[in-house]
């Protein structure tokens, strides 16, 4: 069977779903566990989201009809909400608190909503827009990028940014 970028992205969504489920089951006493799970979530989510933004979404937009353009705009707006608001809120909370539990719950709910929308709408459209060969090529490109220094640098930069925004938020709330 040919490899397919849409299958890879769906598998990563499922991995995130499992991690959020585990995180939701933690208690305020499980500080280490919460920190570890948040680390894992960010390590899985950030490269996924950045690659969608840099490669998949622009390629999708180029071939999209009007409905596709709206789907694209929704997806981008959700990425921005997560990056600029939800993740910094999480970073502004101490892991052993109800605030952390509440904010990571919202984080998980938004990711679930976004992933489902991609799977049910955007990826369905993309399956028609891109040939099996193109989807296989994208999958190879994605794997190569994830193994590159560029991906590691992106993850580090995004985490530093989230930490900084979170620190500012903690000071001003
Ligand atoms: Fe996305
Ligand atoms: Fe995604």
φ/ψ of residue 94, rounded to 5? -75, 135
Give the number of the ligand closest to the Cα of residue 75: 1
pLDDT band at 146 (very low <50, low <70, confident <90, very high): very high
Alpha-carbon span 122 to 120, nearest angstrom:
7
* Ligand 2 centre distance from Cα of residue 134 (Å): 18
* Ligand 2 centre distance from Cα of residue 52 (Å): 7
Question: What is the residue whose two structure tokens read 């190569």?
Answer: 144
Alpha-carbon span 169 to 165, nearest angstrom:
6
Is-above-0.85 flag for pTM?
yes
Q: Counting every residue, how long is the chain?
A: 173
* Ligand 2 centre distance from Cα of residue 114 (Å): 7
**Residues within 5 A (CB) of ion ligand 1:** 52
pLDDT of residue 152: 87
* Ligand 2 centre distance from Cα of residue 83 (Å): 14
pLDDT band at 7 (very low <50, low <70, confident <90, very high): very high
**Residue 27: partners with Cβ closer than 8 Å, 6 or more residues away:** none
Q: Is the pLDDT of residue 48 over 80?
A: yes
Structure tokens at 99: 């605030």
* Ligand 2 centre distance from Cα of residue 48 (Å): 6
Supply the DSSP string of 59-98, one letter for each residue. Answer: HHHHH--HHHHHHHHHHHHHHHHIIIIIHHHHHTS-TTSH
Q: Is the pLDDT of residue 173 over 80?
A: no
* Ligand 2 centre distance from Cα of residue 12 (Å): 8
Give the number of the ligand closest to the Cα of residue 76: 1
Give the number of the ligand closest to the Cα of residue 16: 2
* Ligand 1 centre distance from Cα of residue 65 (Å): 19
pLDDT of residue 149: 87
Residue-wise pLDDT tens digits, 65-89: 999 999 999 999 999 999 999 999 9
């Amino acid at each position: 069977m040919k490899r397919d970028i849409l299958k890879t992205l769906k598998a990563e969504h499922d991995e995130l779903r499992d991690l959020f489920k585990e995180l939701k089951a933690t208690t305020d006493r499980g500080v280490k566990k919460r920190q570890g799970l948040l680390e894992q979530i960010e390590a899985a989510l950030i490269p996924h989201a950045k690659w969608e933004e840099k490669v998949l979404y622009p390629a999708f937009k180029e071939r999209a009809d009007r409905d596709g353009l709206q789907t694209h705009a929704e997806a981008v707006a959700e990425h921005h909400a997560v990056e600029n608001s939800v993740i910094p809120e999480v970073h502004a909370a101490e892991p052993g608190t109800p605030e952390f539990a509440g904010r990571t719950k919202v984080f998980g709910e938004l990711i679930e909503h976004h992933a489902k929308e991609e799977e049910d709408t955007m990826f369905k459209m993309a399956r028609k827009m891109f040939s099996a060969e193109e989807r296989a090529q994208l999958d190879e490109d994605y794997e190569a990028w994830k193994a590159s220094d560029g991906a590691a640098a992106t993850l580090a930069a995004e985490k530093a940014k989230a930490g900084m925004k979170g620190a500012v938020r903690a000071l001003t709330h």
